[in-house]
């Protein structure tokens, strides 16, 4: 899923991946065009993905991974209710350097009976 700017250029992109045989969804590849960061687009986009996810079935949570040094993204996800539940040490190699991933999750409220 993506949002385009007024010129038709990709502004924000992300994927919702259904975890097979699970009541969990994964958010993957959430990307804001670099020259448009720090303007709130990522947070608005993620709110939209959360709303879509909550309406898409009997899913109880969303999980995502984020580079541990990506403080703006961690802050954004935390402000939306995601909690850090673990770390994957040296899970990504970028420019010949290993990076840790933070695992974050957002649990949906239980349905009212």
Rounded to two decimals, the pTM is 0.89
- In a domain, residue 17? The reply is yes
d(CA 110, CA 64) in angstroms, rounded, equals 20
CA distance 25 to 11: 23
Q: Residue 26 sits in which domain range?
A: 2-107
Residues of the chain with pLDDT under 50: none
Domain total of the chain: 1
**Per-residue pLDDT, 110:** 59
* 112 inside domain: no
Structure tokens at 91: 């899970």
Q: Is 65 domain-assigned?
A: yes
Predicted pLDDT of residue 79: 96
Residue-level pLDDT at 108: 85
Cα–Cα–Cα angle for 92, 98, 104, rounded to 5 degrees: 45
Q: What is the pLDDT of residues 83-98, one digit of tens each?
A: 999 999 999 999 999 9
Assess if residue 56 is contained within a domain.
yes
């Amino acid at each position: 899923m993506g949002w385009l700017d007024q010129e038709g250029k990709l502004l924000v992109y992300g994927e919702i991946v259904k975890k097979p045989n699970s009541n969990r969804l994964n958010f993957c590849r959430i990307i804001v065009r670099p020259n448009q960061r720090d303007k709130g687009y990522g947070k608005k986009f993620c709110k939209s993905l959360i709303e879509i996810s909550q309406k898409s079935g009997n899913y109880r949570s969303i999980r995502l991974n984020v580079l541990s040094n990506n403080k703006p993204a961690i802050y954004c996800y935390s402000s939306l209710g995601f909690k850090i539940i673990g770390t994957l040490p040296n899970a990504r190699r970028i420019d010949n350097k290993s990076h840790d991933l933070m695992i974050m999750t957002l649990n949906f409220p239980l349905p009212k009976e």
